Amino acid sequence: MKKLIFSLLLFSLGMASFCTTWTITNVGTTFSPATITIHHGDSVNFTLAASHDALEVSQATWNANGTTALPGGFQTPFGGGLVLPAILGTGTHYYVCTSHVTLGMKGIIIVENNSGIADNQSQAGISVYPNPANNLMTIKAANDLVGSQYLISDQTGRQVLNGKLANEATPVDISQLTLGVYLIQVVGQRRSSVKMIKN
């Protein structure tokens, strides 16, 4: 029994060593970085000026520059604070500075599963730049995917755009998309996907 408890303790300590604490600061009235991708189990430390806080909101509230708190979401006091993994579940977390959201002080934390195996494999054939993007992005595809169809879906899985990869660097107009996270899938000789953020 003692060996089992000791083994579990060592396993827990080993897993904890793989967790990271990410730091988000402010540069004037913007969060820096404004978008980060972390792994489940990581923490985020907001190191902010005394006039800034961070409040998690829904995507709709974030898009509308609102300050209605997301039930069960995180909130740091003015000056910042630590957001623990228990509050940062897998998925996309939208947050704002309640005092400066109207000036565009907003951010996104994307929390991915620890394994990352499926994500790494799926991204082998395509990439997107810039990411985050505003009105225009480019899908860069491997040779064997040129001519394939691409599908862009929102977080609910609804397809919002589609087209064909004309060459290895295909520009795509995303000006009509709302702010948020999208999944780009390419279906050809093989399937490949990557996440894209519209900001």
**Tens digit of each residue's pLDDT, the chain (199 residues):** 454 444 433 334 444 445 788 899 999 999 999 988 888 888 999 999 999 999 999 989 999 999 999 888 899 999 999 998 878 887 889 999 999 999 999 999 988 876 443 333 344 578 888 988 999 999 988 888 888 888 888 877 788 999 999 998 999 999 999 998 888 888 766 777 788 888 8
In a domain, 13, yes or no: no
For residues 129 and 99, membership in a common domain is answered with no
In a domain, 3, yes or no: no
For residues 169 and 193, membership in a common domain is answered with yes
Q: How many domains does the chain have?
A: 2
| Burial class of residue 101, CB neighbours in 10 A (0-12, 13-18, 19+) | buried
In a domain, 5, yes or no: no
- Its pTM stands at 0.53
For residues 80 and 127, membership in a common domain is answered with no
CATH code at 138? 2.60.40.3080
For residues 163 and 86, membership in a common domain is answered with no
DSSP E strand stretches across the chain? 21-27, 30-32, 35-39, 43-47, 54-57, 75-76, 80-83, 91-96, 106-112, 126-129, 136-141, 149-153, 159-164, 169-173, 180-187, 191-198
